């Protein structure tokens, strides 16, 4: 029972792009930890988030985001396009079957009522 929920969460994370945010958070955390080994806190934070010294994981994430955007742009160009209408939309009355549903129902086609009481010969 837990596996379908797990896969649903993974799918939603991937569709919304949250996976890139999670990976970027991991990259920034590791960069900050590495920078704190040699620099003060303010210098490490500045160097981590200024974007001038990206780590290999940050570069890989940026490349993956670019390729994802390119594929989204390519798939967007394959959308269907319809020619513009020369006339405005016309309102039509509903068909008669909507106005009188008994016309097309099986009960409406049978006009005879069953015999009451049923014939005795059918019980023998």
Of residues 47 and 122, more confidence is placed in 47
Phi-psi region of 30 (alpha: psi -120 to 50; beta: other; left: phi over 0): alpha
pLDDT tens profile 28-38: 999 999 999 99
* Contacts of 44 by beta carbon, 8 Å cutoff, 6+ apart: 32, 35, 36
Q: What is the pLDDT at residue 45?
A: 92
Instruction: Decide if pLDDT at 102 tops 60.
Output: no
Task: Tell me the CA distances in angstroms from 66 to 12, 19, 25, 51, 61, one per residue in order.
Answer: 20, 15, 18, 16, 9
Q: How far does Cα 76 stand from its chain's mean position?
A: 15
pLDDT tens profile 50-84: 989 899 999 998 898 888 776 655 565 566 677 77
Q: Where are the chain's structural domains?
A: 18-74
pLDDT-derived band at 14 (thresholds 50, 70, 90) equals confident
């Amino acid at each position: 029972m837990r596996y379908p929920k797990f896969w649903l969460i993974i799918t939603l994370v991937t569709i919304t792009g949250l996976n890139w945010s999670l990976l970027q958070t991991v990259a920034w955390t590791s960069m900050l930890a590495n920078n704190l080994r040699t620099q003060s806190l303010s210098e490490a934070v500045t160097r981590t988030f200024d974007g001038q010294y990206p780590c290999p994981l940050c570069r890989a994430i940026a490349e993956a985001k670019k390729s994802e955007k390119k594929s989204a742009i390519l798939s967007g160009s394959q959308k269907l396009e319809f020619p513009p209408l020369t006339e405005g939309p016309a309102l039509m009355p509903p068909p008669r079957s909507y106005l009188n549903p008994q016309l097309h129902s099986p009960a409406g086609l049978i006009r005879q009522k069953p015999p009451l009481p049923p014939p005795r010969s059918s019980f023998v």
